[in-house]
Chain A
Amino acid sequence: MSRNLVSNLIQAIRNGAYHTALKNLERQGYRTVTVLPAQKLDEIVSKAIELTLKEYGLPLDPEAVRGLSNDAKVAFVKLVRERDSLRETNEALERERVSLARNENHLRAEIEQAQRLLSEQQQHGLPEAPVEPSGFEEKLRDAALARVEETLRRLGRSADPKVVSEIGGLSNEIASIAGRLLDNANSENLETARRRHEERVNLLERRIKKLQTSLGETEAMLQKLQKANTEEKGVASVYREPQGLSQADDRFEQKRHLLAEIFKLNVELRQIIEEQDSSGSASTKS
């Protein structure tokens, strides 16, 4: 086994292990501890390969066994590391999920607020044209005429019918110009108000659309993440096929008997359950 492989193996095991003081172990009542030097792992893996090959009647030349042995050690290191890295990935995915979920809630709240504002705007509707007071022009004309007549009276020119007639025409004209000016001002104001209203509605609609797109994307990402979580490949078992008690086991016969006992008890348990089920369904029918 190369030096590099040994150090990788030691490092991987150290990362997966936890530290405790000898004093703590002593307090827990331990008097002795089993020590497995890291270098010994090398021998154990090699021995395991050798025994397995022997057990399956596959004698290989020492070089092939060494190669197989190194492959097994590399796989061992990978498995130890894979577990750590899977855990880290899972934690990162979980953090991401929480943050996306938070963002999703935030977006929903924003959409809700924007929709409320939009609905308020729509309820108010477009501003209506201001209603011109009835007989505005006539009133203006009468007011102007009265004022001019009063001025003429003060100047002593009120008796001149020509002047009075001129003044009357002028008052009509002034009233008509003032009316037009007011109409223009009103329609300009109305136009501005309408434009602002439409702009606000457009802005809210665009904001809602944007937020909804954002929400859709967040939901898709969340779904993807949840799917990734549920579709996690998992950690592969070290066994490719069913095992069973090894005939090389020192207590093969004794263990075989005990395992058969456990199996028998479980079969009996299933029979009782099935009987209970069938008697239960029979009583339901009756």
Chain B
Amino acid sequence: MSTETKTTAMPAATDEKKGVLYLGMDLGTSRTSIAASNGTRETVLSVVGYPKDIVSRKLLQRDVLFGDEAMRKRLSLNFYRPLEKGVIKFSEDGNQADAAEAKHNLKAAADLVRHAISLARPSKDELIYAVIGCPAQGSIRNKRAIIDAARDVVDSVMICSEPFAVAYGLDRLDDVLVIDIGAGTTDLCRMHGTMPEDSDQITIPMAGDYIDQQLAELLRARCSGASFTINMVKEIKERYSFVGEAADPVTVELPVNGKPTRFEITKEIRQACRSIIQPIVDALGKLVATFDPEFQSVLKNNVLLGGGGSQIRGLAVAIEQDMQARFGEGRVMQADEPIYGGANGALKIAHDMPPEFWEQLR
């Protein structure tokens, strides 16, 4: 980030401040959402594209594109989906072979963070304090990349665990089990009134992307000769996903030798979406089993389901039924705003954080 941008976004400390903008961000594998204290709430696909050459640069008239626009024009772009399994791709290991790719992804992630902050449309003369939710298990390098990107455009920034942010936002801090289903990972976090430790959290790779892979395999078997990409599968899933009883049969149109052909895929959609239930309930069982026996029942009856993946129709009920069958009881509540749950929580943390803490981290 250039110094010029920094100067524009961050007035000097001696400047008279006219307000304080609190900002919460959920930096997700599939979507990045922000909520700010000026009432702005925005979400953008976590994809970044840079024009491939001077011709596409001239055509697109931009140096970098984000979200849906980048997705639409991806053929003219060097296209990055910088996050994978909740962290910046290749930022976790020091593998030299991936060093160049890691550098590109770090840059793309930094640009995405800056773009997401700009979506909050902060006034120039306001102090900006941001809390960014990221996976608790993320490496130092990963967290550093996020902090470095944000520091250019905000006055002070803090990182916090994503599932904790969801719980804090909903004021559910005691004896509650948060399931945050994202695209790359499903994070389960046990809240018991204090800051969750490593033993309170489990991350499993069965999430939105996993369902896409399962569905793609099922479609390959079901829709003979049809050609499709993983993006098309993702779109189908987002439109029709369900795990209970289907109200109507699901039919989609896929090209076979270039000719659009209709396929009925109700069973496949249900099967793919159901594939995450068992691993989630397994992980949930582990967190319950290692909890204080006196409070296990309370925990089982206080499961909070959030994250973009929780929008699968009937998922809360299905998890609840599986819990009741395996653990004898269970009650799952769906968070009101799955996409903004993390961002809303991060915003609430930002708001509640004492001003002196913000000042110390400037």
Contacts and interface: CB of A to CB of B under 8 A. Distances in A.
Interface string A227-248: 0001011111111111111100
A29 B336 contact: no
14 contacts: A101-B61, A232-B121, A234-B123, A236-B19, A236-B126, A237-B20, A239-B22, A242-B358, A243-B20, A244-B352, A244-B354, A245-B353, A245-B354, A262-B349
A244 B168 contact: no
A257 B360 CA distance: 17
A165 to B, nearest CB: 83
Given A28-B313, A243-B351, A235 B334 contact: no
**Interface class of chain B by DSSP:** mixed
A28 B332 CA distance: 13
Given A27-B247, A101-B61, A258-B194, A234 B334 contact: no
A244 B313 contact: no
Interface stretch (B108-116, B139-147, B176-184, B275-283): B139-147
A83 B40 contact: yes
A139 B233 CA distance: 92
B316 interface: yes
Nearest to B242: A27
B21 A28 contact: no
B39 interface: yes
A83 B39 contact: yes
Interface stretch (A117-125, A127-135, A202-210, A264-272): A264-272
A136 interface: no
Nearest to A101: B61
Given A235-B123, A236-B126, A242-B20, A259 B357 contact: yes
Nearest to A238: B37
Interface in B126-183: 126-127, 129, 140, 143-144, 147, 158-160, 168, 171, 173
A112 B127 CA distance: 48
A261 interface: yes
A251 interface: yes
Nearest to A97: B61
B161 to A, nearest CB: 9
B58 to A, nearest CB: 8
B194 A257 contact: yes
B220 interface: no
B94 interface: no
Interface string B180-194: 000000000000011
Given A27-B313, A28-B313, A263-B158, A234 B38 contact: yes
Interface of A: 23, 27-30, 34, 79-80, 83, 86, 101, 230, 232-246, 249, 251, 254-263, 265-267, 269-270, 272-273, 276
Contacts of B160: 262, 265
Interface string B337-359: 00000000000010111110110
Nearest to A86: B121
A244 B195 CA distance: 19
A267 B360 contact: yes
A111 B272 CA distance: 58
A238 B158 contact: no
A27 B334 CA distance: 12
B122 interface: yes
Contacts of A232: 121
A15 to B, nearest CB: 14
Contact of A243 (B22, B39, B171): B22
B317 interface: yes
B281 to A, nearest CB: 15
B18 interface: yes
A269 B127 CA distance: 22
Interface in B200-245: 242, 244
Contact of A234 (B121, B140, B247, B336): B121
Contacts of A273: 140, 144, 147
Contacts of B317: 29
B39 A79 contact: yes
Contact of B193 (A29, A254, A256): A254
Closest 6 CB pairs of A and B: A242-B355, A29-B316, A237-B21, A234-B123, A27-B313, A261-B195
Nearest to B124: A234
B38 A29 contact: no
B314 interface: yes
A39 B129 CA distance: 34
